A and B are shown apart, each in its own frame.
Chain A
Amino acid sequence: MTWTIFKGMFRKTAITLTRYAFNTGSQIVTFYIVFCLIFFGARALGGAVDMGETLEGILVGYFVWMLAIMAYSDLSWHVANEAQMGTLEQMYLSPAGFHWVNAAYLLSNLIINLIILSILLALMILTTGQRVVLDLVSIVPLLLLTVAPAYGIGMIMGGMALIYKRVQSSFQILQFVFIAFISVPIGRYPLVRFLPLAQGNYLLRQVMIGGARLWELTGSDLLVVMGVAAVYLGLGILIFRRCERVTRSRGLLGQY
């Protein structure tokens, strides 16, 4: 059943993206322009702006940041959008349960986001002339662990969206908070590694810039990235479920 739901959801997401082709296209262009501004701005300032220790660091950091933004905004956007369209209740009528419908939606979007980001990454590499190591076996699991906390935060926002419907205004603030998580140097502030994205981004830089393989990373580093992923994701799921109960109890599901 879940596979069928995933296929249906993926097809709907893909169709919607093509019907909103201009929006999809302008999203890619905006991300690219923002990256160019940051990268060339940083180069012009001679490294005064630190989004990593090197220009390659900016490239990796920006890639992680985009995926994180997409990850956390997907769920809350999904909930708010479905509520506005009057289809949220229909999602809850699926015998698979809303959590599986949601998972199918998030997975569909993750795949589409990765495709978009791969195009962007290629564009960024071509534009800047910077080289990164694209060892997919090491990158993909690390990338998933890195963005897992962003999904956790997305779950919390999604839960808020169930109750309050419009939570998009907080998106902007979170975008800047995420930049902080990515750019604070872990070597100087070790406790920062327990914040979302920070440790994952640090390890991804080791893989994509330093050329390290996944199994060459230290066990404690991997343990921290897994722990952070589990804690934030778990917390997100817990809060989302709590919000679901409140929503059903107050009869807010069909309201917008």
Chain B
Amino acid sequence: MKSTQPDPESQLREPALVVRGLSKTFYRRGGQPVRAAQDISFSVPEGRIVGLLGPNGAGKSTTIKCILGLVEPDEGEVEVFGTDAARHRRQALSMMSAVLEGSRNIYWRLTPRENMEFFCSLQGHEPSQHREYIEQLLELLNLSEAASQPVRELSQGMKQKVSIGCALARRTPLLFLDEPTLGLDVETTYQMRTLLRELATRQHRTVVISSHDMKVVQSVCSRVIIIKDGRVVADDRTENLLELFRRRTYTLELSGELPEEADRRLRSEFDNVDIKVLSHRTELSVEAARSEELYRLVDILREAGMAIEGIAGEQPDLEKAFLQIIADKTFCGQSREATK
């Protein structure tokens, strides 16, 4: 199981972010050293949304903080739109903003508008010259009505949107969102997905999302980087990762009993074949990865003279792919080839 296909579009686009050999070990007094990031390398093309996935403690947040310069890496290089982030930190920071996990990121005594204006000024932009943009942001985030209300009076979802708004108010081309949908309800999460897509398509922002919410990642990210134990174990287009795990289980309802020869062929050519003979009909479960395999299955059944009365399949999703990659010990360390 290895990831894989280079992204042809990515190769054409200018990289917004290039990370090379990033490593960070934390030394705790009286405890074992924690290798939070080990030789992490990846690049993010401009105008794309890339997902950073991994179980808790995998090293996602450390990686993001190392890129942002909030944590000093032991080794490695970070380039932001061609600028060496370690040597030209100010220039690199002028192109990056972030919403960080576990932090409130905003001032609860201030209103959403005041927060956005403050963070706009923190980036060196004069808020009076960006007032129209801030109003657009408030509208985009459905915060116009609450724009003059202190943040502490807003719901969790709205606070999260204010945090994202503040990062956007900095007007940087590269944005990091660490768990942007954490604690949000279904409706707000859906709005967030729409917003993220708009950021990439309409505002041409490059977004790196770290999230546990596979649905969000699957629906908005064109590429996914999976980190496990501080290492990149998969780095590919979302659709390619899904394709890797596209082995769908099909359940077919057949009239009559399956002949012995067909039974033998199915078991030899397909994985996880399960045949249940019921009264006057047969229920066949089989795993098939590609459409050609499904056609071959239908051919075998037709040659055996079986009539297919019904067919049902289970869709693959990123969550299953992610869980399989994380569970597969052999995956770890193989991905260096894949990410090159």
Contacts and interface: CB of A to CB of B under 8 A. Distances in A.
Given A8-B118, A89-B70, A95 B94 contact: yes
A90 interface: yes
Contacts of B26: 250-251
A19 B109 contact: yes
A131 interface: no
Contacts of A251: 24, 26, 36, 62, 65, 70-71
Given A11-B118, A93-B93, A101-B122, A245 B72 contact: yes
A85 interface: yes
Q: Which DSSP category, helix, strand, loop or mixed, fits chain A's interface?
A: helix
A86 interface: yes
A87 B98 CA distance: 11
Interface in A233-256: 245, 248-251, 253-254
Given A93-B97, A95-B91, A248-B72, A87 B117 contact: no
A214 B221 CA distance: 66
Contacts of A20: 109
A4 B126 contact: yes
Interface stretch (B1-9, B10-18, B100-108): B100-108
B218 interface: no
Interface string B115-154: 0011111111111000000000000000000000010000
A101 B119 CA distance: 11
A51 B119 CA distance: 44
With a 10 A CB-CB cut-off, give which of B26, B72, B91, B166 has the most chain A CB atoms: B72
A248 B150 CA distance: 32
B104 A87 contact: yes
Given A90-B105, A93-B97, A12 B124 contact: no
Interface residues of B, number: 43
Contacts of A245: 72
B102 A86 contact: yes
B106 A87 contact: yes
Contacts of B89: 97
A8 B110 contact: no
Contacts of A86: 100, 102-105
B90 interface: yes
Interface string A83-121: 001110111111111000100000000000000000000
Nearest to A6: B121
B68 interface: yes
Nearest to B34: A251
B96 A93 contact: yes
Contacts of A133: none
Interface in B54-76: 62, 65, 68-72
Interface string B144-177: 0000001000000000000000100010000000
B114 interface: yes
A43 interface: no
Contacts of A19: 109-110, 150
B94 A15 contact: no
A85 B62 CA distance: 20
A15 B125 CA distance: 19
Interface of A: 1, 4-5, 7-9, 11-12, 15-16, 19-20, 85-87, 89-97, 101, 245, 248-251, 253-254
Interface of B: 24, 26, 36, 62, 65, 68-72, 89-91, 93-94, 96-98, 100, 102-110, 114, 117-127, 150, 166, 170
Given A9-B118, A254-B65, 14 more contacts: A7-B121, A9-B121, A11-B117, A12-B118, A15-B110, A87-B103, A87-B107, A90-B103, A91-B122, A93-B70, A94-B122, A94-B123, A95-B94, A250-B26
10 contacts: A1-B124, A8-B122, A11-B121, A15-B114, A19-B109, A85-B108, A86-B105, A90-B103, A91-B122, A97-B90
